[in-house]
A and B are shown apart, each in its own frame.
Chain A
Amino acid sequence: MNSVSSGTGIPLLVAQIGLTLFVFVALLSSAAGMVYVERKVAALLQQRLGPYLVGPKGLLQPLADVIKLMFKEELRPRAADAFLFALAPIIAATCAFAAFAVVPFGGDTTLFGLLPERLRLQVADVNVAVLVVFAIASMSVYGIVLAGWSSNSKYSLLGGLRSSAQMISYELSYGMALASVLVVANSLSLTDIVNRQANTWLGFLPRWFIFIQPVGFFIYLTAGIAETNRAPFDFPEAEQELVAGYHTEYSSMSFAMFFLAEYVNMVTVSAVATDLYLGGWQGPFLPESLGWIWFLLKVGALLFFYVWMRWTLPRYRYDQLMRFGWKVLLPLSVLNLLATAAGVLYFGSNLGL
């Protein structure tokens, strides 16, 4: 696995380290930005104003929230398992950030000629990137499950159990949707997958995989929402039933870590969806070195969709969630994979791809 994309010159190494730091800070601030967007969009959909007091148009509200969280008292139930109680939010936040390391978010660039060689906008170019994203997503369930168990509280435990059952159920469909894209793209590298989606059909329709895999895109998005525990699948923290689910007993910064993990996971799922189905940084009008603008626009649209869903759809019932996952989504994703494989076999790789 190459961690440095190309070349080993010193400026490039510095650029690579800078890129890593940049991605970290960008993810942190995107989480803060999403908090603001979520509150504003929620207000828009409910005909309210939303935050407007802190800063111009309430823009400093996320900062105020963070400061408030930092100065809160850190509480731990006496009967909690101290070590695991501290470890759980760390696992959640680490997994959230780690997944983005293999996601490419732009074409090669020289930073307007500042670098001697071209640098790829991706922290680590791993040749099994899609599987790495999936692996880290499957590890992130431990943060939630351990938080639920170690709190030694009934609400937390139920939230943790629900979350593990939910994530196992939807991971299967999630994996099947990914596999369908891999069959079409014939590669496990996210960079390759994006490059396969360059150019257009008939001169106007971009060659995005969403047009070949519409069902796959639907499955991916649904399973992605369930994986990130967002409404309408937010059962691990269903407040009417479980107070706050797995993070009931958490306060201050350890609660903030779960909060952060949720938003960073949303960004990662959207970014991967963009790379897999929406052509990544490919788009008209802009040269490839400015492709990251397209990437940001597409990820932004998907994130808006996330928030839109949350404030539009009511939460399902838990048995409905399980029935939908196992009896609708899983068979659908298996059929989609079979149909995709049959199509690729029949038409060969010259599907006009």
Chain B
Amino acid sequence: MGSEATLFYLFGAVAVLASLLVIGQRNPIYSVLLLIASFGALSGLYVLLDAPFAAVIQIIVYAGAIMVLFLFVVMLLNAPHEDTDYDERTHPLLRPGPMRFGAVLALVLIVELVWALTKGSESGAFAGGSTSSVADIGRSLFTTYAFPFEVTSILILVAMVGAVVLARREEQ
């Protein structure tokens, strides 16, 4: 096995293991930290794919910014343990609405994953040139992929407006 393959299996194993452990934790702080470990391993995979820019952005945006906010919220809510208001022994179908909704979503996700993994992939090659060149990535982001790029910005705007609406106090 070449050193690259060894590293691939190492990072891949860490990413999968950490992601599985994220949902197995009782303490949300550990879930957040394991998610960060998983992102770090993904970033390592990007480096192996010769995409250092994507790797560093993965760390800055996900591990550095978003997860800090997650940690911040978990600490502020001071929720050291899982919320277990319901009785563990009740039948899954009789549990509160949000949980049933979550279960349906999980089922949909499983179906999607199976479909995505079995349909066979098209060529995943990046059309805009070298993935290691930041200039190439930027150029194709603003030409070939301009539409998805702009749509993403609208998505983020919607999230921001939503946050403002939720955070604003009702004026009497």
User: What residues of chain A lie closer than 8 Å to B59, measured between beta carbons?
Assistant: 135, 138-139
A1 sits at the interface (CB 8 A): yes
Interface of A is mostly: helix
A252 sits at the interface (CB 8 A): no
A248 to chain B, nearest CB (A): 16
Report the bound CA distance from A107 to B77 in whole Å.
Answer: 51
Report the bound CA distance from A148 to B76 in whole Å.
Answer: 12
* Residue of A with least CB distance to B47: A1
Q: Given contacts A142-B68, A160-B75, A168-B65, are A131 and B56 in contact (CB under 8 A)?
A: yes
B63 sits at the interface (CB 8 A): yes
Report the bound CA distance from A281 to B47 in whole Å.
Answer: 29
Could you tell me if A138 and B29 are in contact, using CB atoms closer than 8 angstroms?
A: no
Q: Given contacts A1-B47, A127-B132, are A164 and B52 in contact (CB under 8 A)?
A: no
* Residue of A with least CB distance to B27: A81
Could you tell me if B53 and A131 are in contact, using CB atoms closer than 8 angstroms?
A: yes
Interface residue total, chain A, C-beta cutoff 8 A? 27
Interface string of B29-59 (1 = CB under 8 A from A): 1000100100000000001000011001101
Could you tell me if A135 and B72 are in contact, using CB atoms closer than 8 angstroms?
A: no
Report the bound CA distance from A138 to B58 in whole Å.
Answer: 12
A302 sits at the interface (CB 8 A): no
B44 to chain A, nearest CB (A): 12
Could you tell me if A126 and B52 are in contact, using CB atoms closer than 8 angstroms?
A: yes
User: What residues of chain B lie closer than 8 Å to A134, measured between beta carbons?
Assistant: 56, 60
Could you tell me if A161 and B65 are in contact, using CB atoms closer than 8 angstroms?
A: no
Could you tell me if A145 and B75 are in contact, using CB atoms closer than 8 angstroms?
A: yes
Could you tell me if A171 and B56 are in contact, using CB atoms closer than 8 angstroms?
A: no
User: What residues of chain A lie closer than 8 Å to B146, measured between beta carbons?
Assistant: none
Could you tell me if B64 and A139 are in contact, using CB atoms closer than 8 angstroms?
A: yes
B65 to chain A, nearest CB (A): 7
Report the bound CA distance from A160 to B76 in whole Å.
Answer: 11
B71 sits at the interface (CB 8 A): yes
Interface string of A141-164 (1 = CB under 8 A from B): 110011011000000010011001
A208 to chain B, nearest CB (A): 24
A349 to chain B, nearest CB (A): 13
Residues B94-113 near A (CB distance < 8 A): none
Report the bound CA distance from A139 to B69 in whole Å.
Answer: 12
Of the residues B47, B52, B65, B68, contact of A145 by C-beta under 8 Å = B68
Could you tell me if B72 and A138 are in contact, using CB atoms closer than 8 angstroms?
A: no
B159 sits at the interface (CB 8 A): no
User: What residues of chain B lie closer than 8 Å to A139, measured between beta carbons?
Assistant: 59, 63-64
* Residue of B with least CB distance to A139: B64
B160 to chain A, nearest CB (A): 14
Could you tell me if A141 and B57 are in contact, using CB atoms closer than 8 angstroms?
A: no
Could you tell me if B60 and A141 are in contact, using CB atoms closer than 8 angstroms?
A: no
Could you tell me if A171 and B65 are in contact, using CB atoms closer than 8 angstroms?
A: yes
List 25 contacting pairs A-B, 8 Å CB cutoff, sorted by A.
A1-B47, A1-B52, A84-B29, A84-B33, A126-B52, A127-B52, A128-B134, A131-B56, A131-B57, A135-B56, A135-B60, A135-B64, A138-B60, A138-B64, A138-B65, A141-B64, A142-B36, A142-B68, A145-B75, A157-B75, A161-B75, A161-B76, A168-B68, A168-B72, A171-B65
A-B contact sample (9 more), CB < 8 A, given A131-B53, A142-B68: A1-B52, A131-B60, A135-B60, A135-B63, A138-B64, A149-B75, A164-B71, A164-B72, A165-B72
